Amino acid sequence: MAADLPVLGWKEHVWLPDWDLRLRGKLDTGARSSALHVASYEELTVGQDPVTGDPTTLVRFDVVLGTRSRPEHHPVEATVVGHKVVRDTGARAERRPVVRTRIVCGPVDTTAEITLTDRSGMNFRMLLGRLTLERECLVDPAHGYLVTGKRRRRR
């Protein structure tokens, strides 16, 4: 089975087509869940699920791409599918909203859950964890951009 899976580098370009976002992502098999950097977010209760009667919650968030000198703000709205307590790189527990979206990374095209958090100070605004990657691809930790190619910055 593993021989049939594509091999991706430890970093690749990622496309989130539901939100038309393109960004660099780190494929991190040491992380359980996937995470997206958001500058801010707001959760809004907008109704009730007709089947369960549970409240339906939307989250509005701001994804900042581009550079520090030329930030590009992308407002996004998505349905919250749950909340997850995640330990960050400093082992601090943080309760994060979870959303589900389509993720395309080279030959990998899947729908997965991602948590929303402030990843400022980190090198990658998107982290693809092992729950997103399992059964989808293998990760070569010695190489980056194996399937999506390294893009040159526009000047």
pLDDT value at position 133? 96
98 contacts 83 by C-beta, under 8 angstroms: yes
Is residue 125 helix, strand or coil?
Answer: coil
Domains located in the chain, CATH noted = 2-140 (2.40.70.10)
**Amino acid letter at 128?**
L
pLDDT digits (tens, 9 = 90+) for 91-129: 889 999 999 999 999 999 999 999 999 988 889 999 999
pLDDT value at position 84? 95
Residues 139, 143, 146, 149: what is their CA dihedral angle, to the nearest 10 degrees? 140
DSSP code at position 59: E
100 contacts 113 by C-beta, under 8 angstroms: yes
pLDDT mean by block of 10 residues, the chain; 155 residues: 87 98 95 94 87 88 91 95 87 93 97 94 93 96 94 58
pTM above 0.85, yes or no: yes
Is residue 67 helix, strand or coil?
Answer: coil
Q: Whose CA is closest to 33, among 144, 126, 115?
A: 115
pLDDT value at position 89? 73
8 contacts 24 by C-beta, under 8 angstroms: no
